[in-house]
Amino acid sequence: MKAIFEKPMSPWLAWAVTVVILSSGGIYCLTYSYLAQRPDGIGVGLSWALVSLVPWLFAFEIGKRVNYDPTGSWTANWWIIAAVLAMTAAVSVGLQDWLWADGQLSLRETAIAALKRFPPALAVSVLLFLFPMLQEKRESEVEAFARASDLPLLPQQIDWIRASGNYLEIKSGQRLILHRMTLASAERALKHHAFIRVHRSALINAQRVARHDRGKVADEVVLEDGTRLKVGASYRLLVEQAIGDRFACRQQG
């Protein structure tokens, strides 16, 4: 559920959720029309889901991407979200006009259709407001139990950490240690020890960075021992800022 509600979904997951919503909406409509003794075809159910449900799924997904920060924090830009919701309502009404009314909706009918989009827009807004709060609360609770002492090495001994399933690969000089722990817990435990996230599956000790190579497709950080680690697109600006600050401190020192 966390992958659906709290973070931007991957394209494959988004398509899977869309198919589930379309299928569920179609089944709901077929069941409703059957109980109302007004049998409709599967096309009616699918078109209802396409008009009434799918646009709001995309609005919720766009809203998450507007707010989401790879560090786990959320900074809501409600002006952009309001614009996204308004555009979603317009798309939903336009689909209704195209699929059901053949472009014949009057001005009054269009206004009523737009007003009916207020409840789903409100629901999306509530979700975008509520789930980040739950996420921050849970992360603060986990953080209380995540300590650097939970790691098998001292922070200053670690060069980089990479996720490997439910384990971590911890590199220290010539040693590579496998330790059972999540990368998120390690990141929280080391957040006060100059470690930065460079990829969704990798943490590095900023004090071991020799340089930051910028590329057209992907960036890389090069450590003092020659190790090269790719920088994820979502972490590019964070890495630039953190490494830039680190080198600035070195020069001043």
DSSP state of 91: H
pLDDT tens figures, 220-239: 888 888 888 888 877 888 78
Taking a C-beta distance cutoff of 8 angstroms, is the pair 132, 6 a contact?
A: yes
Q: Which pTM does this prediction carry?
A: 0.52
Decide: residue 89, CB within 10 A, 0-12 exposed, 13-18 middle, 19+ buried.
buried
**Res 88: pLDDT:** 94
Q: What residue ranges define each of the domains in the chain, with the CATH number in brackets?
A: 2-143 (no CATH), 148-252 (2.40.50.1020)
DSSP state of 116: T
Note the helical H segments in the chain: 2-5, 11-35, 42-52, 54-67, 78-99, 107-115, 118-143, 183-189, 236-252
pLDDT tens figures, 26-65: 788 878 777 877 767 777 778 888 888 889 988 988 888 7
Q: Dihedral (C-alpha) 128, 60, 31, 116: value to the nearest 10 degrees?
A: 80
Low-confidence spans in the chain with pLDDT less than 70: 1-7, 39, 67-76, 131-148, 216-217, 244-253
